[in-house]
Amino acid sequence: MDYSSVKTRDPPQDGVSDRLIKEDPSRQTTTLLKDEGARLPKRLGSADAILQFVLDISLTVPAVCFLTYGFMVLCNNGVPVNQNPVPALHMAAKYSPTLFPIAFSAIATNLLKATAAWRLEKGITILSLEYLLKCRNVFSAVTAPLSLQAVNLITPLLIVLWALSPLGGQAALRVMDTVPSTAAESWPFEYLEFMSPFRHSGAGSSAGYVVMPSIQAAFAAALSSPMDAKTKSQDLFGNIKIPMVEHYQQSSQASDLDGWYEVNTGPNTSPIWSSLIGLPATSLDGFSPGSNYSFKMETSYMSANCSTQHKLMSFNEWGQYRDSSIFHNKRNLALQYWVFPLAWATEPFPLIFTSWSMAQTTNATCILSQVYAEVDVGCHGSVCAPSRIRRIPKSERDCYPYRGPAGVFFAYFETFVPSGLSLYDLQERQIKPFASAIETYFTDPSAPFSAPGISSWNGTDMSSIGDVVFSQRFSQLLNTFWLASVASRNVTGAFNFHDEFDDGTYRIITQKATGTRTPDLLVMRVNGAWLSVLFVASVTMLAAGISAAILGCLRRGPDVLDYSTFFFRDSPYVHMPPGKYRSMEDASDQVRRIRDIRVCIGDVDHTGNVGRLAFGSVDAAVSLRAQKAERYYV
């Protein structure tokens, strides 16, 4: 069969679907718009949106750094200033007043611009838009209401926002203080009991032969110490002196509700000390130079309340009076009593002190009593001083059942009276009427062993010494010799942390106390108020950065704010070069395209009688400088 004559249908050039696609109007419109450079609004997942989000969110890094800085400061509260990371934190604090406002300004400005762009797409008042674009720093936030002469609800918010910029910088600088450490711990202390047992029964006893040389040496060392040492809170061997509490009670200084008196040991003032020798005290670590200490001592001392009289007495009369006295030094000093001091006596007892001189013989009637006091002591290393004192009833720790040294009256005063004599005076056949250092201490306490009267036949005239000063200095002499007698070895520097010490005669008694020890370190302390300001400012900065990034993603239109090109792209007074212009074009792209066009604010109706100002290119607007000054404008 011949098929050559059969006609066949030509194959279709286009299918039905292809023909429908070609005839689709939307397809044709899309193709036409692409050819003209048209764009869709920005989408959330677009590359440009993601890139802008990354750039905006990167601005939050400084906020995170300042928050981290604040938390590190808080975590290292109380750490020594020379221990890491405190030095690094101090270094960061130095640059914070500069870096924080810069970072805050960048983030806040980005937030205001993002807010303005987002609200501009939804609708915003001109005043709010102007505030968001105008308030870009602290100064403009304050001056904007004045220049615009109008306010709305966002005005105070912008002022508060920008106020956080300088406050945050200052907070980062001031969040740390350097202070002494207050990390106190309980610490044991020991100190000498004032009423420790008397160590001998007389100068001629077997114990007296052993201990009298050290007693005499300790007493002489205290009397001959420089005046600076006599007025300080510690003696030459570091023992802590006890103030005379009755001095405060008789003065105008008021005590607190618990009876405490403040003890001022400043350079221009000095308390009246009860003794030239202080109480030996120590702690478990022996008053380490790297620590501060605080503890209380309950102690006592002898107090003499004296009334003086002065009269003339010949040397022969003095010899008869001296020989009739119970205690004398074979020179110019004698002591006697009215009432025999019993070992169980509990009341103050009288004592008569008499010192002869060619001019006047001083006769002092003294009432000797025991004063009990509680003393608050503070130490910086081994440098200690009493800070407070108050009078208390007889201490329960007192090892004697009576007041004062009545039980050892004879042994004590028998050795006290001649203790101020020199080695020359102690030689036999030396009966010259020279004053002893005990007497010259009343008139010249700074140097009693070299006072004028000590080597004079005339003796020492005490008539110029009042009753109060006489009582104080006599009490100091009595207490000084007492401490030298009961603990001569300990008051001269040999006092360690132990229960008791036995030198072969009598054991001294130590009292225990519990106080505090604080490291002598400078530590970093957090300033709570400034730390709160730093956290508020940093959190605000972080929230502003995150908000700006989110608002930037929500924006669908082009980036046109802060660019003048957007507002004249459709202006008839700006002659644009030929080409295609897109309304969705970012202003930055447009700036690059038309960067060579010259514009000005000028008269766009320069041919009329009345001008009209507008923003235009220089070929469409005449500059104001080129027009007459008398020309009017609408």
pLDDT value at residue 618 = 78
User: 9: pLDDT confidence band, cut at 50, 70 and 90?
Assistant: very low
pLDDT value at residue 374 = 95
pLDDT value at residue 231 = 92
Q: Which amino acid is at 258?
A: D
DSSP string, 136-186: -SHHHHHHHHHHH----THHHHHHHHHHHHHHHHHHHHHSEEEEE----EE
The three state secondary structure string of 330-372 is CCCEEEECCCCCCCCCCCCEEEEEEECECCCEEEEEEEEEEEE
CB crowding 247-260: b at 16 or more within 10 Å, else e? bbeeeeeebeeeeb
Residue-wise pLDDT for 85-115, tens only, equals 989 998 988 998 899 999 988 888 888 888 8
pLDDT tops 60 at residue 26:
no
Q: Can you name the residues that pair with 510 across neighbouring β-strands?
A: 192
Both tokens of residue 370? 């025991």
Both tokens of residue 326? 């119970």
Residue 572: is the preceding peptide bond cis (ω within 30°)? no
Report how far residue 216's alpha carbon sits from residue 103's, in angstroms, rounded to the nearest whole number.
Answer: 76
Report how far residue 462's alpha carbon sits from residue 310's, in angstroms, rounded to the nearest whole number.
Answer: 8
473: nearest Cα among 506, 448, 497 = 448
Residue-wise pLDDT for 205-232, tens only, equals 888 888 888 999 999 999 999 999 999 9
Q: Average pLDDT in the 256-273 region? A: 84
Q: Which residue has the higher pLDDT, 603 or 624?
A: 603
Q: Which residue has the higher pLDDT, 415 or 506?
A: 415
Kindly give the interhelix angle for 154-174 and 86-122, rounded to the nearest 10 degrees: 170
